[in-house]
Chains A and B, each alone.
Chain A
Amino acid sequence: RKMKKFILNKDKKELNPTDEQIKRHKDFTRLHHDYEKVTKRSKRPLYK
């Protein structure tokens, strides 16, 4: 069963993100921090 259905954009909703929206989500520091956290957790010895 499809959870996604296409419809005609009658309301003329903006379908492309603005530069502002892109900038808001662009954060490599956070990504790198999350990555470090995840890899550190997976490297933790079993007895810990």
Chain B
Amino acid sequence: MTIALSISDVHVTLGHNHVLKGVSLDVQPGEFVTLLGASGSGKSTLLNVVAGLQAVDSGHLTFDGVNVDKRPPQKRNVGVVFQSYALFPHMSVGDNVAFPLRAARRPAKERRAVAEEMLALVQLPGMADRSPASLSGGQRQRVALARALAANPGVLLLDEPMAALDKQLREQMQVEVTRIQRKVGITTVSVTHDQTEALTMSDRVAIMRDGVLVQVASPEDLYRHPVDEYVAGFLGEANLLPTAGGRILDDARDADVDGTAVLRPEDLELVPAGDACPAWHVEGTIHLLSFQGTRFRLELLTGAGRRVVCSLPTSVDASALVVGAPARVACRNPERVHVIAAPPSKAMVAA
């Protein structure tokens, strides 16, 4: 069972803090949407609203078109993987996984069968009698996921699911959780502050900032066409440069500027001296060159003192790239240049 989730104009105030300021989001059945934002952006609160753990001041929540505003968490039939996993330490792995069925008063036989089935799904067959304390971090997460899916919920909620894992395990579990989510085909809302995780796992990513959804789009769309500087800087590295009439205006006065060009470091390339230069180009002096294994990272300082980051393939002849020497970089494919219709703010490179 999987459902369409609709959040419309939800407001939440905690104390004097307006945490959610009119959030609306529609999630299609089976879709994986990630709420991405810095801590304090309200993403966890939004997850709690869907789960029913947080009451709303105003706004509505529907599951398959049915209003669930007044429905208590017990009756919402959502599955949650908590940040700490929140496994019950005194119960066996099998009893943990079968807990939702116990709460639903299903017979013991069915509980055991479902626990086995779920543990097989998360690739922990035969672990039902183990204690959670005897499992590794990754195994505990699988158990938490198995428990979340055991009662065949309509929505799966993941609260910072990878936060407790080390980096290598994190990448492995991102793939694994996505595999299971696709296999079960369950509508999923995940919360994270890790952009790689958001890009890897999601069908769509919702960028959240100060209680508002800034942009909701597919990972590629977000990366290519950010609506503002915040989104551009939040996902990957971006050079944000003032533009006027389809060109970069390095020494522009505010009056002339009609927008901000978002240039990704990997879309820039060196233009040898004497070659004709494409429209989208920047001139400057070399500030820093570092070798990063698969790429060179080149930093230019423009005449106006802006820092431009450029990621070059290692096939580039690096001998000419001396610190202090002049250089030109350009984006040859105009489609890769995205212009935000607002002049850039002071921070030119957001990491």
Please determine whether chains A and B interact with each other in the same assembly: no
Which A residues fall within an 8 A CB radius of B? none
Which B residues fall within an 8 A CB radius of A? none
